[in-house]
Structure 1
Amino acid sequence: MTIVRPTQKSDIAEVSRTLARAFFDDPVMTFMLPDDAKREKGLARLFGAIARYQYLSQGGCEVATGADGAIGGATLWAPPGGWKSSGWTELRSVPAMIMAFGSRIQLGGEVNETMKANHPEEPHWYLSVIGTDPSVRGGGFGHSLMTSRLNRCDAEHAPAYLESSKPDNVPYYERFGFEVTREVVLPKGGPTLWAMWRNPR
């Protein structure tokens, strides 16, 4: 049985490790952090920082747990009007970002700016991150997490937006009602993102 609940501050460490494992082979993350030996630790710092400083306070973080209570998956959503991080939020995140990216922090910034430039302005819920631990994939964790927030989107008559970093995931998101609106090519020879939009049902 999968249970979806709001993320607590005490969950952040486990969430960051879960998402780091989930995104270890992600094309964008391997582009920004190409060293296999350092990627998981860097990703944990990245996800820990953005969850703690940007998404948790906006009420958009959820976790999916199994019967044992262990976190198997997590989402980081921003509510309508909340996807742009404030200057203060970015400043607080700087130490963690330096530790996460090291000498590649400038590239991380360029990727972030490219995504911002292609982000829709219409109010919407933004799914910044969804990930499940590889050990529980296929167990319904991702489906439960998606359904939980999209039900709220529909109740609020609010659209939703995400970027898929894997072409194989596009059909998965389409099953939830998302449609590809554009392809975003990341700078410096980076991979392609598929921008996807979902109107409320």
Structure 2
Amino acid sequence: MYEELTVFQKKHRDKATMMLSESFHSNPLFIYLFPDEKKRRKILENVYKGTVEIVAAVSDVYVTSDKVEGIFAVRRTDKAASYSVLCGAIMKTVLRSLLLIRDVPLIPFIRKAKKLAAVSAKMAVYKKQKPHLIIDMVAVDPACRGQKFMSRMIRAALKEADSKKTFCVLETETLENVRIYEHFGFQLSQKIEVIERQLTVYVLIYDPYDQTRHLFNID
């Protein structure tokens, strides 16, 4: 299923970090958390160094090739994370973040982060369902868009979902991405408005077997 992709390795980290920070620089979530454009770019470059390691501890991470035109992660909810690897990755990220605290007003940041808790609470409903796949950290280098790298990644995960007769969940913060994922067969399940007219999280499900039909249109 993932034969056309490359398993993420340490040698890919620097390219992946720069590509992720560039891809998500204009994402509404990060604009909301870090309004200052210059600080946001610096913060994302540092945060994604740790984020990739954290995600890799709980998911399988793939890149499109050694050139890292694209990257994404697939988490299987029935697969236990490596506790030691996860703790180590989190500690590294925390230490890196300490260097950036002076660049972010702490109290406003905490208030914003608390509002995001509503997303986690609403996402919890899927955890009660049968084991499924969660797609995360999907990004394609802006210079490589329109070359079917996104299709190669997403379709690989959907093949796994089909083979296991299960469903797939992902989140996005832009309507543009909603349209892209709908093209692959995803359906909009939840629309979570975090900040009116500023930040909305869209939850999409790929479920050709209608295992989650009763969950659709939850507000």
Task: Specify the TM-score bucket, using the shorter chain as the normaliser.
Answer: 0.7 to 0.9
Gaps (5+ residues) in structure 2?
210-219
Q: 1:42 is matched with which residue?
A: 43
More off after superposition, 90-99 vs 171-180: 90-99
Shift of 1:38: 2.1
Q: Distance in 1 between matches of 2:45 and 2:91?
A: 19
TM-score, normalization: structure 2? Answer: 0.76
Q: Distance in 1 between matches of 2:46 and 2:168?
A: 26
| Contact persistence 1:182–1:194 (CA under 8 A) | yes
Q: Distance in 1 between matches of 2:19 and 2:114?
A: 25
SS of 1:71's partner is: coil
Q: Distance in 1 between matches of 2:81 and 2:208?
A: 22
Shift of 1:7: 0.5
Mark the CA change 1:6 to 1:83 in structure 2 (over 3 Å): closer, same or farther. Answer: same
Shift of 1:167: 0.7
Q: Distance in 2 between matches of 1:94 and 1:108?
A: 18
TM-score, normalization: structure 1? Answer: 0.82
* 1:116 pairs with 2:99: no
Gaps (5+ residues) in structure 1?
none
SS of 2:5's partner is: strand
Mark the CA change 1:194 to 1:154 in structure 2 (over 3 Å): closer, same or farther. Answer: same
Q: Distance in 2 between matches of 1:4 and 1:11?
A: 13
**1:1-201 alignment to 2 at 5 Å?**
3-53=4-54, 55-65=55-65, 69-81=66-78, 88=87, 90-99=90-99, 102-104=104-106, 105-107=109-111, 109-110=113-114, 112-119=116-123, 120-121=126-127, 122=129, 123-186=131-194, 190-200=198-208
Shift of 1:188: 8.8
Q: Distance in 2 between matches of 1:109 and 1:76?
A: 23
Q: Distance in 1 between matches of 2:118 and 2:90?
A: 16
Aligned residues: 195
Q: 2:217 is matched with which residue?
A: none
| Counterpart AA for 1:48 | K
More off after superposition, 185-194 vs 17-26: 185-194
